Chains A and B, each alone.
Chain A
Amino acid sequence: MTEPVTFQIQRYRPEVEDEPTWESFGVPCRSEWMILDALNHIKDHVDGSLSYRWACRMGVCGSCGMLVNGEPVLTCATYVTSVLPGPVRVEPLRGFPVMRDLVSDISDFVRKLESVKPWIVRKSEKSLEEGEYLQTPREMGEYEQYSMCINCMLCYSACPIYELEPDFLGPAVIALAQRYNLDSRDEGSEERMDILSRQDGIWCCTFVGECSAVCPKNVDPAGAIQRLKVTSTVHAFKSLLMPWAGR
């Protein structure tokens, strides 16, 4: 690329300013660069105080999600050439408090993740000597897609409900709960359903579907939520009509 690309980057330094501001940088980009490479160029050569998260640079650690021209993306997996001619606007993910520049506070997500018991729940555990639980490729296929979530937060940033209703468990957490519910080794779906059926659970979702549209790993959280709504309804009717039936 012959001309430098203009990047307009949202800055926020809580010790010196009350509101985020914008700063422009002209970056001499190369055609093989991702947005993250341009940010690294600024940090290394122009302004070492620019703050953002990144680690693997191969789209699997989930650290580097930001808004680029208003869209939530992984900056390590978005070519600069795909957003030209610029200016390229880079902001922290929408829906989260901003800590500093492009760094958002995701601690709320981690608390919600824990709340849905994202682990195998068993009434009785098999001993190691008895070997593995058998699980056919078809059984694995039931939950495999939902196990691909890298916790990058793009779906939260795209979700209009999460922005308005901060208590909403949100797409990735519900998809993860469904990942365990659908695992043939798990026996915890009843316990999880109690959490998921609460007011801040699956019923918050109005099926906008933006979460699935922005997911870089095709997890389809919107699909997980719809499936859970059906299960939850059946479950509710059953306990209403057949209160004597064992749960």
Chain B
Amino acid sequence: MDTISHDILVVGGGGAGLRAAIAVSETNPGLSVGIVSKVYPMRSHTVVAEGGAAAVVKPEDSLEAHAYDTISGGDWLCDQDAVEAFVTEAPEEMIRLEHWGCPWSRQPDGHIAVRPFGGMKLERTWYAADKTGFHLLHTLYQTSLKYEGVRNYDEWFVTRLLVDEGRCRGLVAIELASGKPYAMVAGAVIMCTGGAGKVYPFTTNANIKTGDGMALAYRAGVPLKDMEFVQFHPTGLPFTGILITEAARAEGGWLLNKEGYRYLQDYDLGVPNPAPVKRSMELGPRDRLSQAFVKEMERGRTIETPHGHVVHLDIRHLGAKVIDTKLPFVRELCLKYENLDPVKELIPVRPVVHYMMGGVHTDMHGSTPLPGLYAAGEVACVNINGANRLGSNSLTELLVFGARAGRAAAEFVAPGAGSANGAVLAQALDEERRLKAALLDREGSRERVSGLRNEMQAAIDEGAGIYRTAEGLESAISTIQELQERYGDVALDDRSRTFNTELMASLELANLLDVAEAVLHSALSRTESRGAHQRTDHPEREDERLLSHSLAFWTEDDVPRIEYHPVTITRWPPGKRVYGEQAS
């Protein structure tokens, strides 16, 4: 088995991974960094982010206001010291990206323009029209190419972390082009693989969002934190799950039920005003809007379609000029994927799985409990998002914490630290044998990857949707356990070594099953309702018992051990989340 050494390995070439790699090089240009990504970096899921990235810039705004919006939006489950660091470092990260060439939208005088966003009290969302993630990712990727210490391993898939004497020493990755596994050793590994939306059947997430980094860390003994908090975005296109950005509502879009009525006024989200009012109505937080959709459906006031119930997003009154300048991608997506023109027609939308608030347990420097392993971006849970992330905080998060993790890892490793020892190489050889025996050489198996994946997605959708009960969660847990067993009998049609996408899909499925297990058990264990986790059998938030983070630890028998970890409160004691006119 061939071995490759770097001082630091970054897993994932999306926004967080690229930002981390650049931070390593800027901290110590002598360090060698390898970015190991299962897709070319510009294919990473950061590319689809639309609306923008939050950072305080206006004189009437303040870091305290951004922190308060984030903490109340997160239903007080955020670690406030981490949120304070986040809002403080956000503006400089935005400026840095501007210096690197990001085409942020501008005011007529050439200064940066900002727009309002859901749950935010003031305009602080920087945007590049409605292709913010695309521009951010391409800017970071292109900028990363100028750092000589950074080397890309594109289309390499990581299958295992190598851990020896309580330290992360590297990983095993398959080069897809050749099918060859390599032992990659390093002084530190930074996990930046993004989310796991593909656990669910209906998601905005790309096909590649299979929770790889979460599962790798989990199996290496690192707990997954707050996994029960899954964000349903209120406005996805039916059938495709393509996201219609919150910016459509921030610019003044309305949500209408089948009677053409702005139904959010019935759900404690304020009173309708023709122009957008911040922290009110359509600019309420995502969890509350998705919950209102379910209630509205139960009242029989949504519209039935072949692809499920929908409501309408109406942006016609904004006019072609505003739509083409500020929301061109919304128009492009509607024309292409729904055959409708939002300048003249209503857009059908429904809640769609969008984001994992939970993830690999890290501190505010991106360090995990396993020395030498760091994580940043959606794969990680710092936690600044609490029980519900605010729109436009995630792009900022991957910059701020990608940079922090990169700096922390660079300070942790000594140059030349990535050298292999016998125990580490033995583990890598074990992994090579497992891949061959368990998947490529197995005969007489019966299960198809797609069949198991569909059953998993149906089960978690049923058990851990917008509203949950103990009964529904237990039923989903027993299905996932059964699927974990049947996974042992998975069959591959593809026995080739060259670019074997079916082998990769089967490894991704194993990751998804582990993530599903962590989500369901964490959700069953949290007997309260908070943010995106709503238990109809425990409808109240219970701070005395559960103002704490859940930690799911991997065990041999597919039943994680759940522990709790205190939330850090600095300046904002838990309060009531108020939206609508009471908020102002």
Contact = CB atoms under 8 A, between A and B. Distances in A.
Interface of A: 13-15, 32, 43-45, 47-49, 51-63, 77, 99-101, 103, 105-107, 110, 113-114, 117-120, 125-126, 128, 131-137, 139-140, 143-144, 147-148, 150-151, 176, 180, 183, 185-186
Contacts of B240: 57-58
Interface in B140-173: 142-143, 145-146, 152, 154
Nearest to B46: A61
A57 B242 CA distance: 8
Contacts of A134: 109-111
Given A55-B208, A58-B240, A58-B242, A132 B448 contact: no
A51 B501 contact: yes
Nearest to B42: A151
B492 interface: yes
Interface in B453-510: 492-494, 496-502, 505
B564 interface: no
A107 B131 CA distance: 26
Nearest to A100: B499
B425 interface: no
A180 B332 CA distance: 25
Given A47-B493, A51-B501, A56-B206, A140 B43 contact: no
B567 interface: no
Contacts of A60: 47-48, 131, 134
Contacts of A54: 207
A52 B493 contact: no
Contacts of B208: 55
A53 B504 CA distance: 12
Contacts of A185: 99, 101
Contacts of B154: 107, 110
A133 B94 CA distance: 12
Contacts of A100: 496, 498-499
B92 interface: yes
5 contacts: A62-B43, A110-B154, A134-B109, A134-B110, A176-B142
B145 A113 contact: yes
B103 interface: yes
Contacts of A15: 496-498
Contact of B96 (A101, A118, A128): A128
Contact of B496 (A49, A52, A105): A49
Given A61-B39, A147-B138, 11 more contacts: A15-B498, A47-B493, A51-B494, A55-B206, A57-B242, A58-B333, A61-B206, A100-B498, A106-B40, A125-B99, A135-B110
Nearest to A44: B450
Contacts of B438: none
Given A60-B48, A60-B134, A61-B43, A133 B494 contact: no
A51 B496 CA distance: 11
Nearest to A151: B42
Given A13-B498, A128-B96, A139-B110, A62 B207 contact: no
A132 B98 contact: yes
A47 B496 CA distance: 13
A128 B403 CA distance: 15
Contacts of B106: 135-137, 140
B95 interface: yes
B313 to A, nearest CB: 17
Interface residues of B, number: 59
Secondary structure type dominating chain A contacts = loop
B337 interface: yes
* Most interface-central of B43, B131, B336, B448 (chain A CB within 10 A): B43
B48 A61 contact: yes
Nearest to B204: A58
A14 B242 contact: no
A186 B103 CA distance: 12
A144 B47 contact: no
A57 B112 CA distance: 31
B145 A136 contact: no
Given A49-B494, A60-B48, A136-B109, A117 B146 contact: yes
B247 to A, nearest CB: 16
B155 to A, nearest CB: 9
B45 interface: yes
Contacts of A117: 146
B65 interface: no
Contact of A48 (B494, B498, B499): B494
Contact of B499 (A51, A57, A128, A137): A51
Nearest to A186: B101
B177 interface: yes
A133 B98 contact: yes
Contacts of A176: 142
Contacts of B177: 99, 105
B207 A55 contact: yes
Nearest to A12: B498
B553 interface: no
Contacts of B99: 120, 125-126, 128, 132-133, 185
Given A132-B112, A144-B103, A186-B101, A52 B143 contact: no
Contact of A99 (B134, B143, B206, B498): B498
Nearest to A14: B498
A103 B450 contact: no
Interface in B161-211: 177, 206-208
A139 B112 CA distance: 13
B549 interface: no
Contacts of A150: 42, 47, 134
Nearest to B104: A132
A32 B238 CA distance: 11
* Most interface-central of B96, B494, B497, B505 (chain A CB within 10 A): B494
Contacts of A48: 448-450, 492-494, 502, 505
- By Cβ-Cβ distance, the 8 closest A-B pairs, closest first, are A134-B110, A49-B494, A44-B450, A48-B493, A100-B499, A118-B142, A55-B206, A120-B101
B95 A128 contact: yes
B356 to A, nearest CB: 17
* Most interface-central of A51, A58, A113, A186 (chain B CB within 10 A): A58
Contacts of A49: 493-494, 496, 502
A127 to B, nearest CB: 9
A42 B449 CA distance: 13
A119 B142 contact: yes
Contacts of A119: 100-101, 142-143, 145-146
Contacts of A118: 142, 145
Contacts of B450: 43-45, 48
Interface in B300-339: 332-333, 336-337
Interface in B102-142: 103-106, 108-112, 131, 134-135, 138, 142
A143 to B, nearest CB: 8
Contacts of B100: 119-120
A56 B48 contact: yes
Nearest to A183: B101
A117 B177 CA distance: 27
Contact of B45 (A13, A44, A55, A105): A55
A180 B206 contact: no
A125 to B, nearest CB: 7
